[in-house]
């Protein structure tokens, strides 16, 4: 018997038996689970009894459990610890899943039952959550093309399968480019680099089979190199390698993939009755329209760009003092900005990082969750998918509520970035199910592992997503945890970042790796004072990416995609000294799948709320105020997508926030 198909696993809390699952198990289990899911859906459709919420919507919620288990295990492993076999399985899974989805949406009798229940919704005695689930199920089927027939239906099916293949190829190409490029450093190239970076570069060199240190396109290596290396020529090489991921020609080039993806999305949206893909995508988000998104981005763009241009003049003058003529270039910005940060805020990264050890920072994130929500964490000794992973049981009031897995270190088998995923989501139907949640990061592995202040915020950010999953308390998995609109999903994560640098938290957990002394108050004050430092740059590079994403999806792709990117950036006036955060060929948020397509803006939309939400705690002069924490739990963290997000936020705060909260939080207010 294939262990992936077992209805239960004889493991603590039914954690997947990673040590018993081999790569050869996935495809056979996938094939069986696919067919089982289809037959379960067809059984719902073939009932002779009149459609009701229970025998149609709830019955549909109970289908596909075996498929969910197979996929959740596979994608947890393949995203964080891939190999050629798993990459090949991904290439098989993606189009097959798209075809399977289309096959189910094509069951006309099933959609007729769903539509019948939906048309009767106001006469049914449904709870608020049931009403929401019914609305979302019906909307999903309509948006999937369930109402289409003939050629149009067949074409949408073909497009979805092709998009799934393109997304997988795009992601694997970026990973291949990240894995294959590195720059070897000689002893003279190490001048100016802090010890933590040299140690990490030497360790990476050993992994690559090199005699000396190397810099790769892992963010934990390349960003500090760009900050600290006085070698302008090497900074240029490093940044170009970072910027050109997915655009180096050959088999891993993503430019044609991105162009085809945009064209297919536009065609699909029009077949489904929308003017363009952005209109299709934003229909289900809080923003609703491209006009609302553009208005938000441009409201922030102007003050951010003005600040960035002021900063550019200062950094250019610093460069002149080094005897370098010509304009400030993108490979110069981080280097001179770091020198300026040290001058203005007296912050030396090499002096700061020893206070931010990974293990205590994990404890700090846990402790904040305990003080806010009463959570307790007990480490588990269980086999996981990689030796670097750790797992904890999460309890509340003595009761088990979740398992949390942390996978924190960069490696060649892991894609870049940081993310949160659920191997199992919370639900109460068809049976009680506690969540298994994974945080994946890409911190440099060292002994001890030291983080930057930005790394600490990343750790808290992803744990904020994890709390959204861990604290979910809904009936249906469909609306559990982070199953919310894209521009609401980042609220809990970005909000939790506010606890990362609280003085009483840092005084307890930010202790020097060698001396054990708490971080000096004046250093912490300087760190907090510098939180909005260089925010013009950070905001400009983000909005540039968000605008390119939005404009790409306004219509069909005409001409060369990189020319189109250049045209969009010229229209908004991106300074030549700043690059967009994610250039098209490696814009994984947008092209590795459709989740953030036409919705990369959502981080900023959520930031408007998170700045305002933390102000609720500040107004009580207690960042751990129990009443505000309870309201946050009751109205947002426990509710997932069970209600409209605007309604949830208004219940928490009494109103929706203004953009002024974001501008103030970023230090960009006039």
Catalytic amino acids? 462
* CA neighbours closer than 13 Å in the CB half-sphere of residue 307: 21
Query: Which phi and psi angles does 148 have, rounded to 5°?
Result: -80, 155
Query: Which phi and psi angles does 214 have, rounded to 5°?
Result: -135, 155
Cα Rg, the chain, nearest whole Å: 25
Tracing tokens 């969009």 back to the chain, one arrives at: 568
CB count within 10 Å of CB 49 equals 8
Longest dimension (CA), the chain: 83
Tokens read off for 272 = 């489904």
Tracing tokens 């640098």 back to the chain, one arrives at: 501
Q: How far is CA 653 from the centre of its chain?
A: 25
Q: What is the 3-state secondary structure (H, E, C) of 258-279?
A: HHHHHHHHHHHHHHCCCCCHHH
Q: Which helix (H) or strand (E) holds 403?
A: strand 399-409
By the 8 A CB rule, do 17 and 11 touch? yes
By the 8 A CB rule, do 135 and 118 touch? yes
Residues 6+ apart with CB under 8 A from 123: none
**Among residues 122, 129, 125, 112, which one has the least CA distance to residue 56?**
112
Q: How far is CA 395 from the centre of its chain?
A: 25
Q: What is the 3-state secondary structure (H, E, C) of 55-68?
A: HHHHHHHCCCHHHH
Tokens read off for 212 = 């000396």
By the 8 A CB rule, do 450 and 409 touch? no
Between the alpha carbon of residue 231 and those of residues 214, 307, 330, 331, the distances in Å are 15, 27, 14, 10
Tokens read off for 575 = 């300074």
Q: How far apart are CA 41 and CA 102, in angstroms?
A: 12
By the 8 A CB rule, do 465 and 492 touch? yes
By the 8 A CB rule, do 263 and 373 touch? no
**Among residues 188, 178, 163, which one has the least CA distance to residue 218?**
178
User: Within 497-644, where are the H helices?
Assistant: 503-509, 521-529, 535-552, 561-572, 588-591, 602-618, 626-632
Beta bridge partners of residue 357, listed in sequence order = 450
User: Within 81-121, where are the H helices?
Assistant: 84-105, 108-119
Q: How far apart are CA 601 and CA 599, in angstroms?
A: 5
Query: Which phi and psi angles does 437 have, rounded to 5°?
Result: -120, 140
Query: Which phi and psi angles does 100 have, rounded to 5°?
Result: -65, -45
**Among residues 282, 263, 83, 70, which one has the least CA distance to residue 176?**
83
- Strand, coil or helix: what is 390? strand
Report DSSP state, residue 520.
Answer: P
Q: How far apart are CA 413 and CA 253, in angstroms?
A: 19
By the 8 A CB rule, do 461 and 436 touch? no
Q: Which helix (H) or strand (E) holds 182?
A: strand 182-184
Tracing tokens 């003049």 back to the chain, one arrives at: 313
């Amino acid at each position: 018997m294939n262990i992936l198909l077992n209805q239960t696993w004889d493991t603590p809390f039914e954690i997947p038996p990673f040590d018993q699952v081999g790569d050869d198990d996935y495809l056979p289990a996938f094939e069986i689970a696919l067919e089982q899911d289809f037959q379960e859906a067809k059984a719902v459709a073939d009932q002779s009894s009149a459609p009701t919420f229970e025998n149609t919507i709830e019955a549909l919620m109970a289908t596909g459990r075996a498929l969910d288990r197979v996929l959740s295990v596979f994608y947890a492993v393949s995203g964080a610890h891939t190999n050629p076999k798993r990459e090949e399985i991904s290439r098989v899974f993606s189009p097959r899943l798209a075809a399977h989805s289309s096959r189910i949406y094509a069951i006309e009798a099933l959609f007729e039952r769903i539509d019948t229940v939906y048309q009767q919704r106001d006469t049914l005695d449904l709870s608020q959550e049931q009403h929401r689930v019914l609305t979302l199920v019906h909307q999903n089927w309509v948006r999937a093309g369930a109402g289409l027939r003939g050629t149009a239906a067949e074409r949408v099916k073909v497009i979805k399968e092709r998009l799934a293949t393109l997304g997988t190829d795009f992601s694997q190409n970026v990973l291949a480019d990240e894995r294959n490029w590195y720059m070897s450093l000689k002893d003279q190239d190490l001048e100016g680099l802090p010890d933590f970076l040299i140690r990490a570069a030497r360790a990476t060199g050993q992994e690559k089979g090199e005699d000396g240190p190397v810099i790769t396109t892992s963010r934990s290596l390349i960003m500090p190199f760009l900050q600290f290396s006085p070698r302008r020529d090497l900074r240029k090489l490093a940044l170009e390698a970072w910027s050109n991921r997915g655009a180096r020609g050959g088999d891993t080039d993503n430019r044609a993939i991105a162009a085809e993806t945009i064209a297919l999305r536009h065609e699909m949206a029009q077949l489904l009755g929308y003017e363009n893909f952005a209109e299709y995508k934003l229909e289900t988000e809080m923003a609703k329209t491209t006009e609302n998104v553009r208005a938000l981005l441009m409201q922030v763009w102007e003050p951010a760009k003005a600040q960035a241009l002021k900063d550019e003049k200062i950094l250019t003058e610093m460069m002149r003092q080094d005897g370098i003529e010509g304009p400030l270039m993108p490979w110069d910005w981080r280097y001179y900005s770091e020198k300026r940060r040290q001058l203005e805020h007296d912050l030396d990264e090499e002096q700061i990082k020893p206070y931010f050890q990974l293990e205590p920072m994990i404890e700090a994130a846990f402790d904040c969750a305990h003080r806010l929500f009463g959570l307790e964490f007990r480490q588990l000794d269980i086999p996981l998918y990689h030796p670097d992973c750790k797992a904890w049981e999460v309890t509340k009031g003595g009761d088990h509520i979740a398992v949390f897995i942390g996978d924190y270190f960069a490696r060649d088998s892991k894609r870049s970035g940081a993310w949160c995923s659920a191997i199992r989501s919370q639900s109460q139907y068809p049976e009680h199910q506690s969540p298994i949640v994974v945080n994946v990061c890409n911190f440099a592995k060292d002994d001890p592992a030291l983080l930057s202040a930005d790394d600490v915020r990343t750790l808290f950010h992803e744990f904020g997503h994890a709390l959204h999953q861990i604290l979910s308390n809904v009936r249906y998995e469909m609306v559990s945890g982070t199953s919310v609109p894209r521009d609401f999903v980042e609220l809990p994560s970005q909000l939790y970042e506010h606890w990362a640098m609280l003085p009483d938290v840092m005084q307890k957990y930010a202790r020097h790796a060698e001396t054990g002394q708490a971080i000096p108050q004046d250093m912490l004050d300087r760190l907090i004072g510098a939180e909005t430092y260089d925010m013009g740059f950070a905001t400009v590079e983000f909005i540039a990416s968000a605008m390119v994403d939005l404009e790409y999806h306004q219509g069909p792709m005409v001409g060369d995609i990189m020319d189109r990117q250049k045209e969009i950036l010229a229209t908004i006036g991106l300074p030549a000294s700043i690059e967009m955060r994610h250039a098209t060929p490696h814009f994984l948020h947008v092209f590795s799948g459709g989740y953030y397509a036409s919705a990369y803006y959502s981080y900023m939309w959520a930031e408007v709320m998170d700045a305002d939400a933390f102000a609720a705690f500040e107004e009580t002069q207690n960042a751990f105020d129990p009443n505000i924490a309870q309201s946050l739990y009751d109205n947002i963290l426990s509710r997932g997508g069970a209600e409209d997000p605007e309604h949830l936020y208004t219940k928490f705060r009494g109103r929706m926030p203004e953009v002024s909260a974001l501008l103030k939080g970023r230090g960009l207010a006039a």
